[in-house]
């Protein structure tokens, strides 16, 4: 049987789609409540792959976001290689933000990983590296950075979300541009 929080969440989501399976991470709410209670003065920076709620529970995502990784390949059958697969789901960032702000955390911002890295000065850092490194060294670093910022790699799928408590809410370096909070 569902506990009261699980039942309330299921009713709140109201997903009327036939043959629709999804996952709901109830532990994330408790985790964020615990962080909010523990933090007296400081900031929280979360980086993971995920979506805003409307995309997370989109009607075309009929099988949810549960998947496995085996030798850097994505598998939909998470039981294919028992004990050898890293099993994961995506983060529902809307739930994270809603839970956090309703537990006295201030919302700093939400963007993708590429935007966050560019906001933090990645372009200038790459120019400095280009001047300092030999061509083959720079190419190796550049290829690694490309995986972090490419929309088809980690640049778009990984999101960065920030919260604070007891701090000034001026512009935070990683969130000055490329705002994605509209998707929450």
Which domains, ranges and CATH numbers included, belong to the chain?
4-174 (3.40.50.12710)
Band of the pLDDT at 16, cuts 50, 70, 90?
low
What is the average pLDDT across 73-93? 94
- Percent of the chain at pLDDT > 90 equals 78
Per 3-state DSSP, what percentage of the chain is helix, strand, and coil (rounded to 5)?
45, 20, 35
Cα end-to-end distance, the chain, whole Å: 30
DSSP 97: H
Is residue 128 within 8 Å of residue 64, measured between CB atoms?
Answer: no
- Asked whether residue 182 carries a pLDDT value surpassing 70, the answer given is yes
Band of the pLDDT at 96, cuts 50, 70, 90?
very high
> pLDDT tens across 48-64, in order?
999 999 999 888 888 89
What is the average pLDDT across 127-154? 96
């Amino acid at each position: 049987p569902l506990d009261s929080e699980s039942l309330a969440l299921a009713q709140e989501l109201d997903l009327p789609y036939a043959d629709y399976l999804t996952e709901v991470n109830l532990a994330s709410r408790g985790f964020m409540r615990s962080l909010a209670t523990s933090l007296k003065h400081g900031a929280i920076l979360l980086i993971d792959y995920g979506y805003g709620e409307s995309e997370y529970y989109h009607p075309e995502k009929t099988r949810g976001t549960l998947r496995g990784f085996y030798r850097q390949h994505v598998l939909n059958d998470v039981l294919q290689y028992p004990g050898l697969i890293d099993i994961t789901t995506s983060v529902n960032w809307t739930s994270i933000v809603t839970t956090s702000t309703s537990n006295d955390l201030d919302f700093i911002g939400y963007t993708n990983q590429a935007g966050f890295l560019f906001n933090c000065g990645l372009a200038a850092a790459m120019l400095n590296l280009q001047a300092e490194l030999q061509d083959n060294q720079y190419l190796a670093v550049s290829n690694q950075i490309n995986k972090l910022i490419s929309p088809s790699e980690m640049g778009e799928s990984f999101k960065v979300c920030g919260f604070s408590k007891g701090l000034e809410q001026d512009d935070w370096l990683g969130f000055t541009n490329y705002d994605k909070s509209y998707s929450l």
